[in-house]
């Protein structure tokens, strides 16, 4: 795959790099800066933060005592993301935790010195964040939300649930998805290469885009939705699920929150687990480890959630084999 650099899309080469942290540990509490791509009212993000704090406490880092955590909420806004990236770097924390491809790119644009741990990033090598998964080689490492076969599994599940599906719209945020969306589009096309299924790109940025795009796509028979994991699709979760239900399109989603919100099927990594593991990397960096030496970790466990209420509303029968393998069935 040709190496891409999302960082360049955010506005070119970096401005003045942040000064490297000194060799001696600073006096007083250590500092963790966090940048999240959602609003402060996002319930799931608050749960993930609480989990992160709990895990750090178990490792000996207690917020308000020997650790000071500062959280910045971008609300999914590109300008705020870049502003907060500059702010968090200027505050010179010991470590920065960044969620999503877009946030990680924004922070990396501002510093190649301060250690960064990312979560819920799809293609860190292709997007220019790290040199390799095994040896990141710079100031950033973390946890991806996909592995190579995941997109093929999404397509397989969609076709098993609705064999009539011959058109699959891949829904993504062009500003926030890996490779501007090309990462998942290419994987989806590879997954259907030997079939008669057509892949359709469906970029969305705001709720109106999602409503209009899904409504237009649904006008032709044989459609299904594949919603990819990025900050935009997660932010627009309610709109996307409602539009899919309204247009009776079978859809597969990347996180369980979509299925518990009324989506048909979700299959993907558990985001909470990424925050648990991120706490371990933050701990190791605070104790002297370098991101360059900490391998980027891929998920090893994926959870399948089926919403039978939605299946019934869509007139679909979920195959027994899928029900048997589900981690959770919503009835």
For 111-150, write each residue's pLDDT tens digit. Answer: 999 999 999 999 999 999 999 999 999 999 999 998 878 9
- Report whether 73 contacts 33 (CB < 8 A): no
pTM: 0.86
Specify the domain boundaries for CATH 3.40.50.2300 within the chain: 6-145+270-293, 150-268+302-330
Task: Give the three-state DSSP class for 117.
Answer: strand
Fold (CATH) for 150-268+302-330: Rossmann fold (3.40.50)
Give Cβ neighbours of residue 92 (< 8 Å, ≥ 6 apart): 18, 19, 21, 31, 114
pLDDT for position 300? 85
* Count of residues making up the chain: 331
pLDDT for position 260? 95
For 145-270, where are the alpha helices, taking DSSP H only? 150-161, 182-191, 207-217, 231-235, 237-246, 256-260
pLDDT for position 289? 98
Give Cβ neighbours of residue 157 (< 8 Å, ≥ 6 apart): 252, 265, 267, 304, 322
pLDDT for residue 80 is more than 90: yes
pLDDT for position 11? 45
- Report the DSSP pairing between strands 95-99 and 116-121: parallel
**Residue 78: both structure tokens together:** 């590109």
Distances (CA, A) of 54 to 32, 48, 174, 299: 14, 10, 34, 21
Q: What CATH class has 6-145+270-293?
A: alpha beta
Rounded to the nearest angstrom, the gap between the alpha carbon of residue 206 and the centroid of all alpha carbons in its chain is 17
């Amino acid at each position: 795959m040709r190496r891409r650099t999302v960082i360049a899309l955010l506005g070119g080469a970096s401005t003045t790099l942040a000064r490297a942290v000194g060799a001696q540990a600073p006096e007083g509490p250590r500092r963790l800066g966090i940048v999240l791509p959602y609003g402060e009212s996002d319930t799931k993000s608050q749960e993930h933060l609480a989990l992160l704090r709990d895990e750090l406490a178990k490792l000996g880092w207690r917020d308000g005592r020997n650790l000071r955590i500062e959280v910045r909420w971008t609300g999914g806004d590109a300008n705020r993301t870049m502003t907060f990236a500059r702010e968090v770097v200027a505050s010179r924390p010991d470590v920065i935790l960044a969620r999503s491809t877009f946030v990680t790119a924004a922070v990396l644009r501002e510093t190649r010195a301060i250690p960064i741990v990312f979560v819920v990033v799809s293609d860190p090598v292709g997007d220019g964040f790290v040199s390799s998964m095994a040896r990141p080689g710079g100031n950033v490492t973390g946890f991806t939300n996909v592995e190579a076969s995941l997109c093929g599994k999404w397509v397989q599940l969609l076709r098993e649930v609705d064999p009539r599906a011959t058109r699959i719209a891949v829904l993504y945020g062009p500003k926030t998805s890996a490779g501007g969306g090309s990462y998942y589009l290419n994987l989806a096309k590879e997954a259907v290469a030997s079939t008669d299924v057509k892949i359709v790109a469906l970029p969305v940025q705001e709720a109106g885009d999602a409503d209009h795009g899904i409504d237009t796509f649904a006008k032709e028979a044989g459609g299904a939705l594949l919603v990819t994991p990025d900050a935009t699709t997660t932010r627009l979760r309610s709109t996307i699920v409602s539009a899919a239900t309204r247009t009776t399109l079978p859809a597969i989603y990347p996180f369980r929150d979509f299925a518990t919100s009324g989506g048909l099927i979700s299959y993907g990594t558990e985001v909470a687990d990424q925050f648990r593991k991120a706490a371990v990397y933050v701990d190791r960096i605070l104790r002297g480890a370098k991101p360059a030496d900490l391998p980027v970790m891929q998920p090893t466990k994926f959870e399948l959630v089926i919403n039978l209420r939605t299946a019934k509303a869509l007139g679909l029968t979920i195959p027994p084999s899928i029900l048997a393998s589900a981690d959770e069935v919503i009835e």
